[in-house]
Structure 1
Amino acid sequence: MFARSKDKETIAVWIFVVVNSVSALLFAAGHIPATVAMFGGLNTLVLVRCFLLNGISGMVFGWLYQKLGLQYAMMAHALGHAFHHVIFVYFLL
């Protein structure tokens, strides 16, 4: 954030890794209410699942944002939800 200039390539790699990791954790934390609604409660295993799966997705979306831009990260997020719902409906109905 503080080392950013007009050229994207001048950002140190460690800054990107730290910022992307923190944002991935916040992204995963934002999905806790949906996880509670899906599982009907919250325990340690469900919380670990939420942070692991959404954290990995958040890292990928952060990488897409850094390399390609916000629109690609948002499209990947939307397509991830669409894919999840199609698979969910296919296997449960």
Structure 2
Amino acid sequence: MDRLIKTLQVYMYDQYDCPDVHEHDEESLVDDIIYALIQKNENRCPFKNYDCIGKCKFNLISCAQGLEIDCGREYEDIWRDFIGVDESEGSNE
């Protein structure tokens, strides 16, 4: 797993505006990846863009219009929900 984490760190540093490569725990790497996803997708909802509507637990009628996030939730919360990682889970190492 250490090799994968080191590889992801370098990839994130190279491809996105993420902090310098340094020792990460699992949670800080998840945070960096979510930050990069938000940076790349801006206000595009991952549920609308990558998956069918209806999988979001907070799906609202107004969500049916366009690809933008229009439910009022924080972008980070939406991406964590989409990926399936809860902030309270923390590291499983």
TM-score by length of structure 1 reads: 0.28
So what's the TM-score if we normalise by structure 2? 0.28
